[in-house]
Amino acid sequence: MTTPGINQFPAPSRAVHNGIRVIMNEALALNNPDLIRLEIGEPDFPTPPNIVEAAHRAALAGHTRYTSNAGIPPLREALADKIKRVNGFDVSPESIVVTNGGVEALFVALTAIVKPGDEILIPDPAWPNYMSIPAVMHAETVGYTLRPEHGFLPSVAELEQLTTERTTVLMLNSPSNPVGTVFPRELLVEIAEFARRRGIWIISDECYDQVVFDDTFVSTAAVTDYERVISVYTFSKTYAMTGWRVGYLACPPELTETVVSLQEPIVACVNTPAQYAAIEALTGTQEPLDMMVSAYRRRRDAAVAQFKAAGINMFCPAGAFYLWLDCQHPSMDGTDIALALLREHGVAVGPGPAFGRTSTGFIRLSLAASDEALAEGIQRILASGYLDGARPETRHQLNG
């Protein structure tokens, strides 16, 4: 039954609904002081003091008014410098739009190029918002499978098979959430040529671009001259600024005006003191960033070693801060297991079904927790026995 005057959107299934939030909300409701929180992809570190102080100075100096829809010019200039230095491609400040976090960057990018009924190729498994944002636009998502036996990397042959005349966008995510894969340069070149041949847009979500544990990361826009590439970034993961809500995108010049015009009815502009804080994040000391990445690397290595010592081989992430665990069970899916771990063993994890149709037998652990909490959480998971039923043929060999 529909209600007159209210748009109807696809009802979220258990697999599509943001099950991470479900676990998080129940974890908060339990109010258990011994609960170990490994479900949320949020840095456990505070925002570096120099960034906080920059926002304070900006507010005291009167930078508390509306700004341009696209962001303040000094920040856009600093972002162009960062993209050239870190991501390896040139973009003018005028082609950069500051957004209300990476989520809004994805939203305005898709709104600018997608029509109802269009098809969007998304990874499976994937961050749940890749499914929920297109649903709001009455667009359809088509999953391309990231298979364990292929190192959780996409297959261009599969992309070819899935592409139809309604395909508008290919969504890429490297380093990926939830798996932590980093796409090699050669594969990105091949993917870009596929997109060019099919005339579809690429949205490259690179929000973990500086949370990497080796030197293999490369930006999609750095390996191709294809003009239909939109690159999306955020300060949330890199600088522990999740609540500040500052993201940005770099897009072709002909698309910028459309994206900027969408800012007005959606957010008008991003928080002004937060934009000045973002300038400090980019131009100030990078020691906090280096420290956080070192901590994530140390936690990854310790966690993988802990599982290996228990006889469990698993995929070793090259970036982001997650572990993707196979926990195939004869009568429980990843949501059932996540709820059981929460209620019976006092550890919260991300349920696999939230990440796609191929993820029913998986759970995601966040490395954004203290070394001690992570070690104890893994011990509780191992003691629960829920990893004992994983099929031997789907065990993922260590790659690092």
Q: Which residue has the higher pLDDT, 173 or 41?
A: 173
Is it true that 19-46+287-394 and 64-283 share their CATH fold? no
Q: Which residue has the higher pLDDT, 22 or 320?
A: 320
Question: At which residue do the structure tokens 């600093």 appear?
Answer: 78
Calculate the alpha carbon distances from 274 to 53, 58, 94 in Å: 11, 9, 20
Distance from C-alpha of 378 to C-alpha of 310, rounded to nearest angstrom: 10
Distance from C-alpha of 237 to C-alpha of 217, rounded to nearest angstrom: 16
| Assigned CATH for 19-46+287-394 | 3.90.1150.10
Question: SS3 helix, strand, coil % of the chain, rounded to 5?
Answer: 45, 15, 40
Mean pLDDT over residues 187-196, rounded? 98
Helices (H) then strands (E): counts for the chain: 12, 11
pLDDT for residue 385 = 87
Pick the CATH number of 64-283 from 3.50.50.60, 3.40.640.10, 3.40.718.10, 3.20.20.70: 3.40.640.10
| Domain regions of the chain by residue span | 19-46+287-394, 64-283
pLDDT for residue 12 = 43
In this predicted structure, the answer to whether residue 31 has a pLDDT above a threshold of 80 is no
Which residue, 67, 111, 37, is CA-closest to 341?
A: 37
Q: Which residue has the higher pLDDT, 193 or 28?
A: 193
pLDDT for residue 390 = 54
pLDDT for residue 327 = 86
**Per-residue pLDDT reduced to its tens digit, 136-186:** 999 999 999 999 889 999 999 999 999 999 999 999 999 999 999 999 999
pLDDT for residue 394 = 47
Quote the tokens at residue 101.
Answer: 């976090």
**Per-residue pLDDT reduced to its tens digit, 304-345:** 999 999 988 788 999 999 999 988 777 788 899 999 999 999
Q: What does 40-54 look like in DSSP terms, one character per residue?
A: ----SSPPPHHHHHH
Compute how many other C-beta atoms are within 10 angstroms of the C-beta atom of residue 45. Answer: 15
In this predicted structure, the answer to whether residue 1 has a pLDDT above a threshold of 50 is no
Distance from C-alpha of 309 to C-alpha of 251, rounded to nearest angstrom: 46
279-282: which pairs have CB atoms within 8 A and are 24 or more residues apart? 279/54, 279/74, 279/75, 279/78, 280/50, 280/51, 280/53, 280/54, 281/48, 281/51, 281/235, 281/238, 281/239, 281/241, 282/78, 282/79, 282/81, 282/82
**Per-residue pLDDT reduced to its tens digit, 251-272:** 999 999 999 999 999 999 999 9
Mean pLDDT over residues 225-250, rounded? 97
**Per-residue pLDDT reduced to its tens digit, 73-121:** 999 999 999 999 999 999 999 999 999 999 999 999 999 999 999 999 9
